[in-house]
Structure formats: C-alpha cells, structure tokens
Amino acid sequence: MSKLRSYFEITSFGIYENWDEKSKKLPQIKTFTTKVPAQVDIEFGFILHAKKAKGKRLDWTMYHPDIPDDKGRIMEPFEGQVYVRNNDWEFYLGDTVWEPVHNKVGDWRMVIECDGKVIADKTFSVLIEHGDGEIQFWKKRGY
C-alpha cells in the first residue's frame, strides 16, 4: 500500500503588492528579493505551496529584529498555526513595516514547520537606503 508523501516548496519570495488578509486571493509578487527597503506599509514574505498535505497543521514563527512593545519590552516572535485546506494549497507568510520604521530594520526570519520539521525558512533584511548605489538598486525595482 502506497503512502502519500507531503511536498512543500517556496514558490515566490520578496516584496508583494499590499495584501488583504481577509481575502482568499494571495498577494502578487512585485520583486523577488531578500532585501527590503525600510518603508512604511511595504509588504514582504513568501508563498508556500503544499501538495498532498490536506489537514496537516503548519506552525509558523516570525523572528523579528528586537521590536519593542508600547512599554519598551522586546516583543516575542510572532507565531501562529494554519491547517492545509486541500491537497494543492498555497499559503502566504509575510509582514509589513510600520511606524516607527527605525526599530524594524534588521533581519526578519520566517519559518514554517510541519510535524516538527522545518519545511520553509527564509530571512529578509529590512534596510535603510544609503548612498547612490543603493538608491539606484531600489529605483530599478520601482521604489
């Protein structure tokens, strides 16, 4: 008797169009990159494609660069769970930069686990633009 093996793949990553989390529609990729300009409301993350995994629980964690809460305490990593809805399913894991921007700069690591195993792991560097070379880098990408 054959046993179906679940398959997971990151199909896109980088900067996306603004995403409405209430919509069933996933955001559209704008730029494939792991370097994200530190701009308010910029959307970044990745899309995970799951096959043959209906009903599996995915645990996600987003490690951020020591962002303080309203009382100045460093916030815990963002965490959550989602269940795979069908055998050919996509899931978007991402975040945006919000005010104040200066404490969002740094590495954001996004990890998804299934059955205790890491199935997706991507780190994004949120950067403040410096110098003409870097400004040209972002202008080429429409920012």
Contact 6, 54 (CB under 8 A): no
* The pair of three-digit structure tokens given for residue 73, joined into one six-digit string: 């305490």
Q: What span, in angstroms and rounded, lies between the C-alpha atoms of 85 and 89? A: 7
* The pair of three-digit structure tokens given for residue 18, joined into one six-digit string: 């603004």
pLDDT in tens, the chain (143 residues): 446 689 999 999 999 998 888 888 999 999 999 999 999 999 999 999 999 999 999 999 999 999 999 999 999 999 999 999 999 999 999 999 999 999 999 999 999 999 999 999 999 999 987 655 454 455 555 55
CB-based contacts of 132, cutoff 8 Å, min separation 6: none
| pTM for this model (two decimals) | 0.86
Helix intervals (H) in the chain = 131-140
